[in-house]
Structure 1
Amino acid sequence: MYKLIAIDIDDTLINDEKEVTPTTQKALEAAVDKGVVVTLATGRAYASAQAIARQTGLNVPIITYQGALVKNLLDEKVLYERYVPVVAARRLFEFCLERNLHLQTYVDDKLYAREENQKLLDYSALNKTPYYIEPVFSKMIEQPTHKMLIIDEPDHLDEIAPQLRELLGDEVHITKSKPYFLEIMHKEGTKGHALTFLAQHFGCDMSETIAIGDSWNDHEMLECAGLGVAMGNAIDALKDLADYVTLTNNEDGVKHVIDKFVLNAG
């Protein structure tokens, strides 16, 4: 029996209208009623993720910043966190400055950028996240941050990702959450690390966990979960490694998983 389900938010739990459908909501509630811990696992900041979690009525720790922060919804107690190493953050800042790349960071759950531009405006609108401008951005680099993010064309990000891995070393984890977003966290700031932590926290074996996602930043949690599920709209690479492929986010794919594997509704 599965005891813990970790669900990605964007293009997984929510549909293209950015909504949790009533049928998916009922499935989440039915799983919770059965004693299953349902949590969210997202690259979003805690402030953004917790708004969605509260809408669904979940009252558990949630995985945010790709796994760099696990925090209770009820009392906002931090259970697990990993910061980007400062030396790596400085190198990343210099790299982006030299190449005029858009870099943004989160400090105290607030989004900061060096200047206002279309990339920042679009990101802010997508995640419903307010932002702050700090022209002397080097000040922000010295602050503890769970995640730093470069926004650019997908091909360009694919080109610089190997350069950054070499420059920043194995102390950081670099992943794409969406084609235009290259995200940099601590090496233990992955959804896989966070899911493993939560399973221990709730006293479950990893074989009793389900992870559901659509993007490459979900692969660590799909690989370590007892049942790794890719959405029907997931990238092919994630579908290839998943144990099961469900329906799309516009077809209540999450509900289908809960019905089939948790509520045994076929």
Structure 2
Amino acid sequence: MIKLIAVDMDGTLLNSARELPAENILALQRAAQAGVKIVLCTGRPKSGVQPYFNKLELTEEEYVIMNNGCSVYNTKEWDLIDYSALSYRELEILEQAVLDCPDVCLTLTGERTYYALGKKVPELVQADAELVFTTARAASLDQVRSDSEIIFQAMYMAEKAQLDRFQKIRETELGQLFSAVRSQNDIFEAMPKGVTKGKALQALSNQLGFNAGEVMAIGDAANDLEMLKFAGVSVAMANASQQVKEHSRYLTVSNDEAGVARAIDKYVFS
């Protein structure tokens, strides 16, 4: 019996227009009313999650795993109940890795601020910030440090060809020190070592008293792999990468066909 549903957002819960389909809302409400815990599990920061969560109109306390597992919030008071942070020394290492790649911007996700390291915010970075309903702030690493803000994760951002080159050069080095993943064509992410959506989901499930067999996870991208491997019922979207499909037990329809609702109907209630 499924007691917890972990759902990725972009490419999964949201359609290609980044809208929340009514079918998905109704399916999650139905599951919550049946006593199933709903956990949004996303790379997004809080600013990019709350507006969508509010549309779900769930009445019980639920949980959200954000920043690819770096932060966990409850939804009653939106308290930060668990987190992993990058140290200042780690931020220095991340900055050093990109100094000879001027076309790649290192961004940092703080508890309150979306930072772009440098003197100005590239258009691509600002466009990404707008998708999560915030504004990126240009800053030096010293300015970030003086703000004394929790920094959950880092993202290297550039056009695909430029980021491909950066990843080829730096992935091995960064992978030894951080949890690194290419989540989108224009985003290569770095979290504290060992931090993933899967680790955060496992910890939260244990806290709530659920085992892996009672957890269903739904996702589409590389940063969903660890949570899909953990869950007893793993579901890949039809629009998922081939790697995600190979590591999932089941397949649903695409995010433009309300694949989350179809998966809930089939694997929770059937």
TM-score if structure 1 supplies the norm length?
0.92
Aligned residue in 1 for 2:167:
161
Aligned residue in 2 for 1:57:
57
Letter in 2 for 1:111: Y
Is 1:109 paired with 2:112? yes
Aligned residue in 2 for 1:67:
69
Task: Give the CA deviation at 1:169.
Answer: 5.6
Structure 2 residue aligned with 1:98, among 93, 97, 100? 100
Letter in 2 for 1:188: G
Contact in 2 for aligned 1:88/1:168 (Cα 8 Å): no
- Find the aligned partners of 1:168 and 1:10 in 2 and give their Cα distance: 25
What is the root-mean-square deviation of aligned Cα atoms in Å?
1.8
- Find the aligned partners of 2:204 and 2:167 in 1 and give their Cα distance: 29
Contact in 2 for aligned 1:213/1:230 (Cα 8 Å): yes
Is 1:231 paired with 2:237? yes
Task: Give the CA deviation at 1:77.
Answer: 2.2
Residues 36-59 of structure 1 show CA distances to partners (whole Å, capped at 9, x for unaligned) of 001100000022112211211244
Task: Give the CA deviation at 1:194.
Answer: 0.9
- Find the aligned partners of 2:216 and 2:227 in 1 and give their Cα distance: 9
Contact in 1 for aligned 2:126/2:135 (Cα 8 Å): no
Q: Residue 146 of structure 1 aligns to a residue in which SS?
A: strand
- Residues 125-164 of structure 1 correspond to what in structure 2 (within 5 A)? 125-134=130-139, 136-140=140-144, 143=148, 144-161=150-167, 163-164=169-170
Aligned residue in 2 for 1:80:
82
Letter in 1 for 2:25: Q
Letter in 1 for 2:41: A
Task: Give the CA deviation at 1:238.
Answer: 0.6
Task: Give the CA deviation at 1:179.
Answer: 1.3
TM-score if structure 2 supplies the norm length?
0.91
* Residue segments in structure 1 that go unaligned for 5+ positions in a row: none
- Find the aligned partners of 2:218 and 2:2 in 1 and give their Cα distance: 13
- Find the aligned partners of 1:190 and 1:124 in 2 and give their Cα distance: 22
Contact in 1 for aligned 2:74/2:81 (Cα 8 Å): yes
- Find the aligned partners of 1:75 and 1:50 in 2 and give their Cα distance: 12
Structure 1 runs, 4 residues or longer, greater than 6 Å off: none
Contact in 1 for aligned 2:48/2:131 (Cα 8 Å): no
Letter in 1 for 2:110: V
Aligned residues between the structures: 263
Contact in 2 for aligned 1:81/1:189 (Cα 8 Å): no
Q: Residue 28 of structure 1 aligns to a residue in which SS?
A: helix
Residues 74-107 of structure 1 show CA distances to partners (whole Å, capped at 9, x for unaligned) of 1222222111233221011122233212111122
* Residue segments in structure 2 that go unaligned for 5+ positions in a row: none
Structure 2 residue aligned with 1:256, among 242, 258, 262? 262
Aligned residue in 2 for 1:27:
27
- Find the aligned partners of 2:77 and 2:39 in 1 and give their Cα distance: 16
Structure 2 residue aligned with 1:123, among 89, 105, 128? 128
Q: Residue 98 of structure 1 aligns to a residue in which SS?
A: coil
- Find the aligned partners of 1:76 and 1:184 in 2 and give their Cα distance: 24
Task: Give the CA deviation at 1:230.
Answer: 0.7
- Find the aligned partners of 2:180 and 2:138 in 1 and give their Cα distance: 24
Contact in 1 for aligned 2:6/2:218 (Cα 8 Å): yes
Letter in 1 for 2:88: V
Aligned residue in 2 for 1:189:
195
Is 1:222 paired with 2:228? yes
- Find the aligned partners of 1:161 and 1:42 in 2 and give their Cα distance: 22
Structure 2 residue aligned with 1:245, among 244, 248, 251? 251
Among all aligned residue pairs of Structure 1 and Structure 2, give the percentage whose two residues are the same amino acid.
Answer: 29
Q: Residue 96 of structure 1 aligns to a residue in which SS?
A: coil
Contact in 1 for aligned 2:44/2:67 (Cα 8 Å): yes
Moved more, 66-75 or 167-176: 167-176
- Find the aligned partners of 1:203 and 1:111 in 2 and give their Cα distance: 34
